[in-house]
Homo-oligomer: A and B are copies of this chain.
Amino acid sequence: MTPEAGRDRNAPVPRSADVARLAGVSRKTVSRVLNDEPYVSDEARRRVLAAADELGYRLNHAARALASGRTRSLGVVALGTAGYGTASLLVHIEHAVRDSGYALRVINTPDGAPEGIADALGSLLEQGVDGVIVSEPFVKGQVPLRVDVPVLFLGAPPSFTGSRTLTASLGTRELARAATEHLLELGHETVHHLAGPRKWYVTKDRIEGWRDALAARGAHEPPLLNGDWSAESGYAAGRALASDASVTAVFAAGDEMAIGLVHALREAGRRVPEDISVVGFDGQPVFAYVSPPLTTVRQPFEAAAREGVRVLVHAVEHPDAEPASAGEPPVELVVRGSSAPPPPGRRRSPLRTT
């Protein structure tokens, strides 16, 4: 039991007026100190701080928001059902937001479609936020909503006709290209792609990165395979693929799908990586400890969250300035044991390499 915990149960919660009285200054001076405004004498500042501390004073944010028109909160619209990726991103966003001195309001829309995003945004705006982050929205349609605060789209172009939209990249396309190039450089004739759900924007980006790499090498583009991020869907794709002897390399749009894929392949008697190479997407540390350890690309969640929040906060605090632009996050390929050169008979001729 600490001193504070033992404080009189029925003592009224202290107000800024109580602090002012105890410090012997006006309420406005208390306000100045608490907001780090200039033109306060060191002596006054010291006394206010001491009084606030003694009283256990805590500022009322609702009152501040009402009076100032600013909430010092940011909102995030997240895609809650998905796995590792969205969860990691959310954790890093929270961290970056807090480091910037803002509070965070979160709404998940398992349904990332425009209406779902519109609902979530509306509710965030109502609750009061100075800016919004829309994390990995889906690809289609425009959000039917008028919004006055800056909105950052993370990992997608604005799906939105607001005047203050911003974007920050997750580096998705470059990562997908790097994953595909890795397989091509190993000597594979071409690379299959197991894509995520088409309605996710990042799915489109990964497909394009894969196509970029294929096109740059003049490799033939095989038909797309479809999954839903789950290992189970990767397993299903793997069963379909196992009977096709021409397949020697697959780039899966998520680590878990890659794991399911490998499992199905091995069950069907195809060896990984000797017969078929598999590369994932995410960089989940645990998959360094399965057999074979999964080759993958690491998503730069921390860097992307930090950059995005920086840009958003800048827009919130400097409404009239030119929006800052977010830096490109790093591309990191993690080569482990699930990728190797193709079997001898199916090796690509070095001469055909561009």
Contacts and interface: CB of A to CB of B under 8 A. Distances in A.
A275 B231 CA distance: 27
A179 to B, nearest CB: 19
Given A144-B5, A285-B232, A105 B103 contact: yes
A7 interface: yes
A26 interface: no
How big is chain A's contact interface, by range? 35 or more
A234 interface: yes
A36 B241 CA distance: 57
A106 B107 CA distance: 10
Nearest to A126: B58
Given A91-B80, A122-B58, A161 B106 contact: no
A115 B125 CA distance: 32
Given A126-B58, A266-B291, A107 B108 contact: no
Contact of A290 (B126, B263, B288): B263
Interface string A87-110: 110110011001000011111100
Contacts of A58: 122, 125-126
A243 interface: no
A138 interface: no
B127 A161 contact: no
Interface string A45-82: 00000000000101111110110000101000000110
Contacts of A230: 285-286
Interface of A: 1-2, 4-5, 7, 9, 13, 56, 58-63, 65-66, 71, 73, 80-81, 84, 87-88, 90-91, 94-95, 98, 103-108, 122-123, 125-128, 142, 144-146, 148, 161-163, 230-232, 234-235, 256, 259-260, 262-263, 266, 285-286, 288-291
